[in-house]
Amino acid sequence: MEGVADALPQVTFGFIISGLLIGALFGFILQKGRFCMNSAFRDTIFIKDFTVFHAYLVALVIMVIGSNLLHDMDKIHLKAQSFYPLANIVGGYIFGLGIVLAGGCGSGIVYRMGEGQMASWVAVLGFFLGIGMTTNGVLKPVYDLLRSVQVGPSGMTLPGLIGDGLMIKWIIIAVISIVLCAFALKSKPFAIKKSKGFYWSVTAVLVGLSGILTFWASEYWGSPGFARGLNFTTPTGEVFFTLLTGDARSKFFPMFALGDFKVTWASFYIIGVPIGAAISAKILKEFTWKTPRDAKELLTVLGGSVMMGFGAAAAGGCNVGQALTGATTLSIGSIAATIAIILGNWTMVYFKFIKPMQDMED
């Protein structure tokens, strides 16, 4: 790693602190709001509860409107992912299967580390193993095969299918926002009740605003000219690669020098998430070191999280990276990956929870 300090820009105090603080803020919100998109998707078919799913929809609407406004004002620069149908659909589906087995989505397993849940620590390790094997290891040929098929131009978006222009984009955003918000009204967002954590609609607003803030901060401090935003897949890989090799190995985002180490802004953001969650858990008196029940549960979590890592790496992002950050750009690839994640989640929920219950009744 000789010459790293000369070849790369040095990290600044603002670079490190902004990443840690924004990550901690997001972790605090996730924990206090009990916001996990595995639960959001699972509960819709398992217990017919749409509350967390509605929170996701409201957060998405806020991110879409706020981030695109900042983009059009030239305050941030959004870049949509390209559409790789095999990678987006197969990867997203496998990720959706994995989050049920792992007991949490990409953001869920990271913030639950801060609650003291050792299964989540194992899940994060498995998540990295899946990412590492897919992007740099034995599964890379599969990754390359899935990503070898691209449909349409680079960065193909929903407005781009219809035509260019701000008016078309904002008409589409308006229609989507109205439909999603009308659907979310069923969970009574304004009937805010006093509770231990955040009410679901408050959580949704805070998650959405955090997403917008992270778009701005990630570009200002970490990726000039490109708002990276919220994600858990590539930052997880970058943190582990830095710890193991001293090099974040980022292929898409700028790296900076921290002494002899190559780091990214998102590396500090992802470290901040469990810290913020731990602070919230301590305040709510929900922090406790908890170990898995038995070896079977541990292996299930590990296997599911490895599936998550492969799926997220292939699909171009996890539930947050695609279903929130990617969908904010109205990327066709991100929308396809999100649908595949939900379908994968529903499939595993059926075989893991619903079918066994039906068999017992029979």
Tens digits of per-residue pLDDT, 46-59? 999 999 999 999 99
Q: Name the residue range of residue 11's domain.
A: 4-355
* 1 band by pLDDT with thresholds 50, 70 and 90: very low
Whole-number Cα distances in Å, 61 to 56, 126, 142, 192, 327: 9, 32, 34, 19, 10
pLDDT digits (tens, 9 = 90+) for 194-235: 888 999 999 999 999 999 999 999 999 988 888 999 999 999
In a domain, 164, yes or no: yes
Residue 196 inside a domain? The answer is: yes
Q: Report yes or no: 90 and 146 within 8 Å, Cβ to Cβ.
A: yes
362 domain-assigned: no
Q: Is the Cα torsion angle 222, 224, 229, 235 positive or negative in sign?
A: negative
Specify if 52 maps to a domain.
Answer: yes
| 360 within some domain | no
How confident is the model at residue 252, as a pLDDT?
85
| pLDDT value of position 162 | 87
Split into its structural domains, the chain has a count of 1
Query: pLDDT per residue over 308-325, tens digit each?
Result: 999 999 999 999 999 999
Instruction: Calculate what percentage of the chain has a pLDDT beyond 70.
Output: 98
Q: Residue 167 domain-assigned? A: yes
pLDDT tens string 144-162: 999 999 999 999 999 999 8
pTM of the model: 0.95
203 in a domain, yes or no?
Answer: yes
Q: Is residue 361 part of a domain?
A: no
